[in-house]
A and B are shown apart, each in its own frame.
Chain A
């Protein structure tokens, strides 16, 4: 739920780039065992229905990326996308 609120703060024009990067983090993560199967199934369901750039898809992907590759995700949000407010909201939600 928290992530669904958080993604609303992400400007639409930055969502494609964010989704692409988060997918790389998640799919290349060596910490795959830390992915809860419920969250994995949610991502697969959203992906089956459409691109993971929708608010719901992005929320699930962001949650997974923070779980698996927290440092890289935060760095990307803050430095590449200049979304410090989003990074802050994630830290507060954790």
Chain B
């Protein structure tokens, strides 16, 4: 049965995010993902609060990166969180976002290698081994915890490019595919399958997760309006190969990039077309969203993550998802 996850960007006060986290648990969501960016609230502080105020929802960073948080410290944070919420902590790890990293003066060096090495260090640290590791990006020199981590933590790899997707299939317990459209998810699942088969695993051994920009409202126009800002940022951040896959005019995409860079949000958001919203979000009335999620299920996903903006009114949209969408898939 498909799992439903929900993503929150901790850009508002902690109590708002935690209010929604409690609501998500009450309304039947299985997973809670908190994003990790230096310019928002801290991911582990947010997850700690969420762990305290919830009882069963599975939670973790979605995703953290190894450049701003050293793999050993990620292992320490996750192991500590797992003491607080035993058996319901997962790690989402990816290479990070180039623009955000650049703002902190950190270079995204060898992203694929960095993620692979992080997972290796993380797993060995969680086994409470003394870790000596000489990687191309990271080192550990006789590193060991003074405490015993409680359990094995499922690792989800945030992936978009072909190599990272294959690697996720090969070494991950899950993969977080940053995509909302069947074209992108089909492509991604094919790459994951390649990695899975190279590792001698089955696709069902990996929790294939579509991490989608999502917006639901009883009125389609209101759902679409809420999705516009996120669609603008996705278009601006997408490589041309993905834009071309969706027949997005590259000149229009450049216009959005330039407007966002100049801080002209009116111009940027005004340039977002209905086709862009369709390509980069799951958006509409509950019935439309069900139809779109069904297409992603056919592509092979096992978890669907409701990501930002969720809807014009987050609280009402969570209730709407719980009343109309989740029961459709979990009846």
- Contacts A/B (CB < 8 Å), 9 sampled: A24-B315, A27-B16, A27-B314, A32-B16, A35-B15, A40-B13, A44-B15, A44-B19, A47-B22
For the complex, is B187 an interface residue (Cβ under 8 Å from A)?
no
Q: Is the CB of A43 within 8 A of B313?
A: no
> Would you give the shortest CB distance from B99 to chain A, in whole angstroms?
26
Q: Is B12 close to A, CB under 8 A?
A: yes
A20-51: which have CB < 8 Å to B? Answer: 23-24, 27-28, 32-33, 35, 37, 40-41, 43-45, 47-48
In the bound complex, how far is the Cα of B22 from the Cα of A47, in angstroms? Answer: 8
Q: Is the CB of A32 within 8 A of B313?
A: no
Residue of B13, B14, B314 ringed by the most chain A CB atoms within 10 A: B13
Q: Which of B253-292 contact A (CB under 8 A)?
A: none
Give min CB distance, A43 to chain B, whole Å.
7
Residues of chain B within 8 A of A23, CB atoms compared: 315
Report the minimum CB–CB distance from A32 to chain B (whole Å).
4
Q: Kindly supply a per-residue 1/0 record for chain B positions 7-24, scoring 1 wherever the CB is within 8 Å of any chain A CB and 0 otherwise.
A: 000001111101100110
Interface size on A, residues (CB 8 A): 15
Which residues of B are found within 8 Å of A44, using beta-carbon distances?
Answer: 15, 18-19, 22, 53
Q: Which of B14, B53, B315 lies in contact with A48, CB distance below 8 A?
A: B53
How many A-B contacts are there with CB distance less than 8 Å? 34
Main secondary structure of the interface of A (DSSP, over half): helix
Max count, chain A CB within 10 A of own CB: residue among B12, B14, B15, B314: B15
For A28, what are the chain B residues with a Cβ–Cβ distance below 8 Å? 313
Closest to A33 in B: B13
Minimum distance in angstroms from A5 CB to a CB of chain B: 24
Least CB distance from A41 to B in Å reads 8
Output the least CB separation between B16 and chain A (Å): 6
Chain B residues closer than 8 Å to A43, beta-carbon distance: 15, 19
Bound-state Cα–Cα, A22 to B54, Å: 23
Cα A63 to Cα B205 with chains together (Å): 49
Q: How far is the CA of A45 from the CA of B315 in the complex (A)?
A: 17
CB distance from A4 to the nearest CB of B (A): 20
Q: Considering the chains assembled together, what is the distance between the CA atoms of A28 and B22 in angstroms?
A: 17
* Least Cβ–Cβ distance between A62 and chain B, in angstroms: 16
